[in-house]
């Protein structure tokens, strides 16, 4: 078999899927079948407009929190903590092993530490002059 590498100037979803398909097949052969299950908790105002919330997905019995946004007018009122508590309750219902997420130094690393998350690692200068942190919290079924 003759293989070559080329750069795609404008990657398409079809090209992404062509890369993802064999990767998923390999992962399934090693870790079993899993289907990503999205979750969303929405913060709405009195006009039913979405102003923030939490978005994530359950995959391989872990909840990955991709997005957490508390509207500025709601900060300091416990909304972020409530969103995280609700996400943790959902993760427990779905029998997740734990929750993981990432955040920047100018966002909320202290917030997650206060909620019992432990730092897994960080990338310095991502973006330049800042850090990106990775956190996890393992869950137990007896809580």
The pLDDT profile of the chain, 143 residues, written as one tens digit per residue, is: 999 999 999 999 999 999 999 999 999 999 999 999 999 999 999 999 999 999 999 999 999 999 999 999 989 999 999 999 999 999 999 999 999 999 999 998 999 999 999 999 999 999 999 999 999 999 975 54
61/41 Cα distance (integer angstroms): 19
Query: In terms of residue numbers, what domain contains 119?
Result: 35-138
pTM score of the predicted model: 0.89
99/88 Cα distance (integer angstroms): 8
Q: How many domains does the chain have?
A: 1
- Domain assignment present for residue 28? The answer is no
Q: Which residue has 């909840």 as its token pair?
A: 63
- Alpha helices per DSSP H over 32-105: 79-93
- Domain assignment present for residue 26? The answer is no
CATH of the domain at 84: 3.40.630.30
- Domain assignment present for residue 60? The answer is yes
């Amino acid at each position: 078999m003759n293989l070559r590498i080329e750069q795609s100037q404008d990657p398409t979803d079809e090209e992404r899927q062509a890369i993802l398909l064999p990767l998923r097949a390999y992962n399934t052969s090693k870790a079993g079948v899993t289907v990503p299950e999205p979750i969303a908790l929405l913060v709405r105002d009195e006009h039913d407009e979405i102003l923030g919330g939490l978005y994530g997905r359950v995959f391989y019995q872990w909840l990955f929190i991709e997005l957490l946004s508390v509207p500025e007018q709601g900060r300091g009122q416990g909304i972020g903590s409530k969103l995280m508590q609700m996400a943790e309750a959902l993760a427990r219902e779905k029998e997740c092993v734990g929750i993981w997420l990432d955040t920047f130094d100018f966002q909320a690393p202290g917030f997650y530490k206060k909620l019992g998350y432990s730092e897994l690692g960080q990338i310095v200068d991502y973006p330049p002059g800042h850090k990106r942190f990775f956190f996890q919290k393992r869950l137990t079924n007896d809580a």
